[in-house]
Structure 1
């Protein structure tokens, strides 16, 4: 066929210069060898990782550490009991930052803290994930306290302070922090030192997110039920705002006048009316 003839012509052209240079005896040898081999293209498939190399296969190391942890857990009756039961007392809403592990910071064991984490510890009403977590925590788990924890040197807060489009969906998320800056601009933007401004925004953002917890219907329903319960000494769940300092390892409780702030926002955000005689501190 025509395609075969083209291949033969190309092969002849590639061999002809070599025949001329090789002489009679060399030509016979080259003809017996055939055309030169084609270059093999490099493989795009990476070499298989050595399963015994922890650097090449970090999952193997993690699974091995899990086996050690599981063995230690099974050897401790108290730890095994905590793992079987799931009755957390607290809901923790914190940042996704790897330096802010909830249980370790609170000194609590497994099963004591129900945890939700996202970038910059935001409480956003359109976040179905978090709204479901809050609802489950207060209605099913009956947690007594909700802790909103921010932390200094928060990458999300730093990103929101920059005049940069971080592209969706991250920019959509950071917009909530920019709104906090605008809401508290008289407090935040008057600080000239940039690092001090970042730290202040971390605190203000954490405080604002704790107030957002009070706006949710699930928390309001639970607090109304708690107020109406004659056996309850406090209105539950309580909400706390704390900030973690990675350099010191300590949680700093923020001084928030919730009674004053909730009174100011209840005209807009209060979803349930409660008789005055049922109110508790």
Structure 2
């Protein structure tokens, strides 16, 4: 059996098990979604949002990209944020990075000629490194350095969310959402909270949107 065929069989088994336990399960899901969380995570196959927090479908609205970035010119990500905040009215946004992130580690080295588009994407992580160069260069172990950059990158992306008009407007008008920065450890499966920003958080005035 080929690998993609196994996935189709696993889907059938999963759907049958769900229907046996809850006959109206898929009917309820089909009526619409009201997720409480927006999850912005890394595209890494080892960090699936629903699985690592043991969540059922319908709880988490998700967007994933290399190194869990929120970039002002990425209309894909920002469209997800706008829909989640303004239409779905999520209460929380979680930016989740993970230790041993290949994208972050690559950002610590020279650009590679065989992955030009990835180089461009990782420029934003390199910017985070540049902002924290003194701290990071004081760390001798490359794994420790990369993992600290993972944390700093998550914090930077949480701040990038706070700079958006969608989040600031929701903070002002509805006192939501809380924006969290988490990091996931592949070696023990645990999440660590790094930062939380909310309506009362101080934002540099240069990033504030006019009322």
User: Normalised by the size of structure 2, how large is the TM-score?
Assistant: 0.91
Deviations 1:183-226 (A, max 9, x none): 11122222122111111000000111111011111111111111
- Residues 1:268 and 2:206 are matched in the alignment: yes
In 2, Cα distance between the equivalents of 1:248 and 1:82?
A: 34
* Stretch deviating more after TM superposition (61-70 or 172-181): 61-70
Cα offset for 1:257?
A: 7.2
- Residues 1:117 and 2:49 are matched in the alignment: no
Cα offset for 1:258?
A: 4.5
In 1, Cα distance between the equivalents of 2:132 and 2:197?
A: 17
Aligned residues: 207
More strand by proportion, 1 or 2? Answer: 2
In 2, Cα distance between the equivalents of 1:132 and 1:111?
A: 19
Matching residue of 1:140: 87
Matching residue of 1:128: 75
In 2, Cα distance between the equivalents of 1:119 and 1:162?
A: 16
In 2, Cα distance between the equivalents of 1:173 and 1:264?
A: 25
Classify the secondary structure of the residue corresponding to 2:129: helix
Residues 68 and 223 (structure 1 numbering): CA distance in 2 closer, same or farther, change over 3 Å?
same
Matching residue of 2:8: 63
* Stretch deviating more after TM superposition (82-91 or 71-80): 71-80
Matching residue of 1:74: 19
Cα offset for 1:169?
A: 1.1
In 2, Cα distance between the equivalents of 1:146 and 1:125?
A: 17
Classify the secondary structure of the residue corresponding to 2:63: strand
In 2, Cα distance between the equivalents of 1:82 and 1:268?
A: 45
Unpaired runs of 5+ in structure 2?
Answer: none
In 1, Cα distance between the equivalents of 2:122 and 2:192?
A: 24
Matching residue of 1:193: 141
Matching residue of 1:224: 172
Query: How much is the aligned-residue C-alpha RMSD, in angstroms?
Result: 1.8
Structure with bigger RCO (C-alpha 8 Å, 6+ apart): 2
Matching residue of 1:207: 155
Cα offset for 1:123?
A: 0.5
Unpaired runs of 5+ in structure 1?
Answer: 1-53, 227-234, 274-281
Q: Runs (4+) of structure 1 moved beyond 2 Å? A: 77-85, 164-168, 256-259
Cα offset for 1:106?
A: 1.6
In 2, Cα distance between the equivalents of 1:155 and 1:82?
A: 38
- Choose the corresponding residue for 2:185, options 245, 263, 281: 245
In 2, Cα distance between the equivalents of 1:186 and 1:81?
A: 55
Classify the secondary structure of the residue corresponding to 1:169: helix
Residues 258 and 64 (structure 1 numbering): CA distance in 2 closer, same or farther, change over 3 Å?
closer
* Greater Rg over alpha carbons, structure: 1
Matching residue of 1:90: 37
